[in-house]
Structure 1
Amino acid sequence: MSTKLEGNGLWESSRMMLPEHKGSIIQKDQEQKRRERIELDEQELNYINDTLIQSLRHSKPVSIKMYHSFEELVIIGVVERLDRQIGRFKVDGEWFILGDIERVTID
């Protein structure tokens, strides 16, 4: 008889992949690449706040590392507006969420 029926030969000899299997494999790969949101302590939050205010008042460029679930996102520019009530800030004409900030450094 053929060796296809021994062990895992039938599955290995098959060159066809169902769309459900392909979708499942892609989804598992994406889940493994997912980043976790980091928890910031009070001292780090104060530093972020002070740095954003310094950029706003003195037009100093800053690098802001933002949370994104699948990639590393860094915003570089000068803070134009800071809206604490809504929890957002503006850099280069775009609004971003304050709660997504992971780290801020002055350039």
Structure 2
Amino acid sequence: MSKKLEGNGLWESSRMMLPEHKERINLYNEQRKKKKKPQLIDEQVGIISQRLSDSMMDDEEITIEIFNENGKNQFVTGIVSKMDSAIRRIKLQCYNDDCQWIQFDNIMDVK
């Protein structure tokens, strides 16, 4: 048997990789690392909505967990200043007078 077919088979002798192949492998690896957003049950959605409403009405500070598909979820603390039900997003007033719009669909939990 020839040395070409030993070990890793035909690929053993082929050490060349085209840029297109490398790009596709990197893209595949990035897609594998991405997390899928878990579906919240109706009870959880109701609890989240109630906590957001309480924060807006009572000027109560909350911490929102925002889904991130590339790694760990992000946590943001502040007071809800506005809710836009048509676009399904909230406006969170943070400590440093910075406002941030958050999509309701990206919210995982509110504490």
TM-score by length of 1: 0.77
Aligned partner of 2:76 in structure 1 is 75
1:1-107 pair list within 5 angstroms: 3=3, 5-7=4-6, 8=8, 11-12=11-12, 16-71=16-71, 72-92=73-93, 93-105=99-111
Deviation digits for residues 45-85 of structure 1, max 9, x if unmatched? 11101111111122222121122322322222211111112
Could you tell me which amino acid in structure 1 is paired with residue 88 of structure 2?
Answer: G
Q: CA deviation at 1:30?
A: 1.1
Q: Which runs of 5+ in 1 are unaligned?
A: none
Identity value in percent: 31
The whole-number CA distance in structure 2 between the counterparts of 1:36 and 1:21 is: 26
Change (3 A) 1:39 1:9: closer
Structural RMSD (CA): 2.3
Question: What is the aligned residue count?
Answer: 104
TM-score (norm 2): 0.75
Which segments of 5 or more consecutive residues in structure 2 lack a partner in the other structure?
94-98
Q: State the secondary structure of the residue aligned to 2:31.
A: helix
Structure-2 separation of matches of 1:6 and 1:87: 59
